Chain A
Amino acid sequence: QVQLQESGPGLVKPSQTLSLTCTVSSGSISSDSYYWSWIRQHPGKGLEWIGYIRYSGTTYYNPSLQSRVTMSVDTSKNQFSLRLNSVTAADTAVYYCARGGFTMTSSFDYWGQGTLVTVSS
């Protein structure tokens, strides 16, 4: 069973860059079948898709966030990463990594447990 695990700082200062990594286990990230995504959830709110990356490095970001988002993939470590720059308190959220399948509009069948990132000085 595929497992995803987010890691990274739980506290980031305003104007700095949020950096998270998702490690995929019991499955290879190097498959053309999947879209690896980051999704966030503000406290007490709904889900917001941030973007996806494929093992080839192809990315697509939510247009509302694309000016601040960069994703990368490290197939040797079976990991993919998120960088969100110029953060504000509005970026405080639980960040999830998830596996989407087959098309860019597919559902997410495996999720990480989520990691809370707080933006505060």
Chain B
Amino acid sequence: SYELTQPPSVSVSPGQTARITCSGDALPKQYAYWYQQKPGQAPVLMMYKDTERPSGIPERFSGSRSGTTVTLTISGVRPEDEADYYCQSADSSANYPVVFGGGTRLTVL
């Protein structure tokens, strides 16, 4: 199987910058996607193809990649950004075409 690794938790104060990482061996070859999930709700797509923001997603959300790690950056964090964040990608041969990271709980202090 293939795994994507995320930190279990990230904490920041309002107005600061939060960086959530996702690591996987195949990330240099496969796009990464990011979802936000608030309690009791379905996930919402926040970033696709590493760096592309869907319509309606605030500009304070951005994505980047460096080698086997992709990062979701939230600039000027707001209290409403508190949520779980999941990355998604695939293994290099797409035998596992959809794999999710374990999720990162963002806490806004």
Give chain B's interface residues, CB within 8 Å of chain A.
Answer: 1, 30-31, 33, 35, 41-45, 48-49, 54, 86, 88-90, 94-103
**Would A113 and B42 count as touching, CB distance under 8 A?**
yes
**Would B90 and A105 count as touching, CB distance under 8 A?**
yes
Residue of B nearest to A4 (CB): B42
Residues of chain B within 8 A (CB-CB) of A48 are: 100
**Would A63 and B96 count as touching, CB distance under 8 A?**
yes
Residues of chain B within 8 A (CB-CB) of A104 are: 90, 94, 97-98
Residues of chain A within 8 A (CB-CB) of B95 are: 63
**Would B99 and A49 count as touching, CB distance under 8 A?**
yes
**Would B103 and A49 count as touching, CB distance under 8 A?**
no
Q: What's the nearest-Cβ distance from chain A to residue B6, in Å?
A: 9
**Chain B interface main SS type:** loop
Q: Which residue from A60, A62, A107, A113 sits with its C-beta under 8 Å from B45?
A: A107
Residues of chain A within 8 A (CB-CB) of B48 are: 106-107, 109
**Would A63 and B31 count as touching, CB distance under 8 A?**
no
**Would A112 and B42 count as touching, CB distance under 8 A?**
yes
| C-alpha gap A64/B44 in the complex (Å) | 25
**Would B45 and A114 count as touching, CB distance under 8 A?**
no
| C-alpha gap A106/B89 in the complex (Å) | 8
**Would A105 and B103 count as touching, CB distance under 8 A?**
no
**Would A46 and B102 count as touching, CB distance under 8 A?**
yes
| C-alpha gap A62/B90 in the complex (Å) | 12
